[in-house]
Amino acid sequence: MADLPESGSNKNRQKKLWDNEDPKKGAGVHKKHGPFSFINPRQFNFSIWYFVVAFFLLTVANQYFVRPPEKSVDYSEFKSLVRSGKIKRVEMAERSLKGYPYTKQQAPAVGKKAGTDSAREGIYRTVPVADPQFTRMMDSTGVEYYAVPQSDGSWMGILVSWVLPFVIMILVWNLITRRMGKMGGGVMEFAQNKARLVAEGDVKTTFADVAGADEAKEELVEVVDFLKNPGKYTEIGGKIPKGVLLVGPPGTGKTLLARAVAGEAKVPFFRMSGADFVEMFVGVGAARVRDLFRQAKEKAPCIIFIDELDAIGKSRAPMAGGNDEREQTLNMLLVEMDGFDSRTGVILLAATNRPEVLDAALLRPGRFDRQVLVDKPDLKGREAILRIHSKDVHLDESVDLAVIARDTAGFAGADLANIVNEAALLAVRAGRAKVSQPDFMEAIEKTIAGLQKKGKLINPKERRIVAHHETGHALTALFTPGSDPVQKISIIPRGFSALGYTIQTPTEDRYLMTKDDLLGKIDVLLGGRAAEQIIFGEVSTGAANDIDKATDIVRRMLTDYGMSEKFGNMVLHSRKGPSFLGDTGPVSREYAESTQQYLDEQTAAIIGQRYRRVLALLTEKKLIIGKIAGILLEKETINESEFREMAGAPKAGA
């Protein structure tokens, strides 16, 4: 029975993760899809500055090199210049008059400085006065004149009328093209960008690259076989699971395993991370899902692998106001999963380290109906993983991988790969050509400190408590008549809730339980805490889950199964009020207040009595507890036959 729930702080951390998404991933998403992500900042700056500078230079050039100097004059002087023939051409605007000392034909070529004498004298400029005589006078003297739309030619004018629209245009154009790229073109290009399609034979990873996950491998062998010979299964009419969910703590090799399945089956492998689907624009994630499945069907047989499924698969909020985009994406995923037949040869693999947050709809039959647990490796597994990763590392004779494996209890595969690398770096830093055992020891120490800080590793004292606690469960089960045999004891943390576990497998299917069976179950549940009490003289919070279960059984015996002395054969109903948004209403009982008190007292009495029995039993076995716990600390897992032998019990089945 899994027990020793993670400490309070860990729970909080998990709760936080739930609220905020994975911090690592969250950051990634944010960086990638910031509010202006559709404008690539570098490109954006480049294009704008390019135009601004070019325009500035042109204007300056125009002002100082091309155009002759302008001279402001009074209107009366301007008029007399026209009359005297000095001004041969007049440009009329609403708020300015310009007089050129040459006609259109004489005008200097653009870009060249005016060569004529008159040109060098420059242009006259004035502010017009309401003077209807003026045009008539120009007609009579034969001066060319024409009107232009308003432009006072000032810097501000140029800026407002020319540069600004230009800038705005560039901005808008930039925005539109990026957005289009995201919405339309992006989906087209997505095969290249987002789902890394590894063509047949390209996946080099095989099961040989994965160690210490034998149970998971066994389950996946069938998937590989199906992908290799789909006919074998479809002819018989058998159904292969559509979706396989790899569940396990981070760094245990889930991604590696998925890759290995593709490598073994030699089929294309589409890998996407859940975060890839969570886009800024509503509908894009859903479009990606659709496209992913469409492509996969074309390449069948193949594997779709959705890493970090929890990023899209989080349970949908009970109220409105959740993340619409994520919900749409999830819905599309569900639709696509229902829409394809595993006979098409597409297998969907997914990985998550937080299965508890997944939407229940994802786990229904026909979807991810098969779950494969990828646990942290045990002693042997760790040694094998170390061997794989140190294959290409030069080790000197002092290195003993078995010793390293022993000192790295609780490490995941990724941590071990990291240790090998770290040790190699230490050797290089010391100027040695080969890695030595002390390098490894130093690397382990560093990593342990880091992992403990992150709450991923339990300290040695806690491990001792867990070992004795689990042994207590197992021994109680062994010496409780009618109890299911112990199949496995382990102190490898199960990641999510348990620091250790004891698995009991029933020898046969059971639909009925006698009162003694129930009491036996309670005893086994209390065995963990009793062992702690006996060995350490104090109890820990590790038994919280056990106590919860034991209390529940006792309560049910009294209220549901009619097993109490006073109210035998009578059911004592208590109804929960209607639930509203996850909160349950007040509990209404169909019995007297005094009965409730009786129930509480009886519960306490039964549990107390059972606990005393277990204490007596285990005190007698104190030496055996110590012995088995010691072996457990060293080996981390003990199987059924080993356990029976150590406990001095007859062989199973005898």
Rg, C-alpha atoms of the chain: 40
Pairing of strands 486-490, 637-639: antiparallel
- 255 near Mg ion, rule: CB under 5 A: yes
Q: Which does 253 bind (CB under 5 to 8 A by kind): Zn ion, Mg ion, ligand ADP, none?
A: ligand ADP
> How many residues sit close enough to Mg ion to count as binding (CB under 5 A)?
1
- Give the Cα-Cα-Cα angle 317, 308, 178 (nearest 5 degrees): 85
Q: Per-residue b/e over 417-434, b at no fewer than 16 CB within 10 Å?
A: bbbbebbbebbeeeeeee
Q: Could you give the C-alpha distances from 618 to 98, 370, 468, 539, 612, in angstroms and in order?
A: 112, 39, 11, 15, 10
219, 375, 546, 640: which one binds Zn ion (CB under 5 A): 546
Sign of the torsion angle spanned by Cα atoms 220, 224, 227, 232:
negative
Q: Which does 546 bind (CB under 5 to 8 A by kind): Mg ion, Zn ion, ligand ADP, none?
A: Zn ion
Instruction: Tell me the angle at which helices 460-478 and 622-635 cross, rounded to the nearest 10 degrees.
Output: 130
- 5 near Zn ion, rule: CB under 5 A: no
Looking at residues 251 to 310 of the shown chain, list those that interact with ligand ADP (rule: CB under 6 A).
251-256
CB of 468 to Zn ion, least distance (A): 11
CA distance linking residue 611 with residue 605, whole number of Å: 10
CB of 346 to ligand ADP, least distance (A): 21
Looking at residues 351 to 370 of the shown chain, list those that interact with ligand ADP (rule: CB under 6 A).
351
Pick 11 or 391: Cβ nearer ligand ADP: 391
CA distance linking residue 220 with residue 26, whole number of Å: 30
Pick 278 or 618: Cβ nearer Mg ion: 278
Active-site hit among 21, 470, 532, 636: 470
Three-state DSSP state, 288:
helix
Amino acid at 232: K
Pick 351 or 426: Cβ nearer ligand ADP: 351
81, 195, 210, 426: which one binds ligand ADP (CB under 6 A): 210
Residue whose CB is nearest to Mg ion in the complex, by number? 255
Q: Is 94 a catalytic residue?
A: no
259, 367, 528, 530: which one binds Zn ion (CB under 5 A): 528
- 250 near ligand ADP, rule: CB under 6 A: yes
* Phi/psi at 13 (5° precision): -60, -40
- Give the Cα-Cα-Cα angle 627, 503, 244 (nearest 5 degrees): 135
Three-state DSSP state, 232:
helix
Read off the tokens for 365: 């039959």
CB of 497 to ligand ADP, least distance (A): 18
- 385 near ligand ADP, rule: CB under 6 A: yes
One-letter-per-residue 3-state SS of 80-107: HHHHHCCCCEEEECCCCEEEECCCCCCC
CA distance linking residue 37 with residue 179, whole number of Å: 10
CA distance linking residue 576 with residue 504, whole number of Å: 32
Stretch that binds ligand ADP, among 225-233, 246-254, 327-335, 469-477 (CB under 6 A): 246-254
CB of 470 to ligand ADP, least distance (A): 23
One-letter-per-residue 3-state SS of 451-499: HHHCCCCCCHHHHHHHHHHHHHHHHHHHCCCCCCCEEEEECCCCCCCCC
413, 493, 528, 542: which one binds ligand ADP (CB under 6 A): 413
CB of 444 to ligand ADP, least distance (A): 16
CB of 16 to ligand ADP, least distance (A): 19
> How many residues sit close enough to Zn ion to count as binding (CB under 5 A)?
3
Read off the tokens for 649: 């019990």
Q: Could you give the C-alpha distances from 294 to 283, 326, 408, in angstroms and in order?
A: 16, 20, 44
CB of 260 to Mg ion, least distance (A): 13
Q: Which does 3 bind (CB under 5 to 8 A by kind): Zn ion, ligand ADP, Mg ion, none?
A: Zn ion
Pick 271 or 610: Cβ nearer Mg ion: 271
Stretch that binds ligand ADP, among 186-194, 250-258, 458-466, 568-576 (CB under 6 A): 250-258
Read off the tokens for 504: 């009991």
CB of 528 to Zn ion, least distance (A): 3
Stretch that binds Mg ion, among 43-51, 252-260, 436-444, 541-549 (CB under 5 A): 252-260
Residues at the site binding ligand ADP, with contacts judged by CB under 6 A: 210-213, 248, 250-256, 351, 385, 388, 413-414, 417
Residues at the site binding Mg ion, with contacts judged by CB under 5 A: 255
Q: Supply the residues annotated as catalytic.
A: 470
Residues at the site binding Zn ion, with contacts judged by CB under 5 A: 3, 528, 546
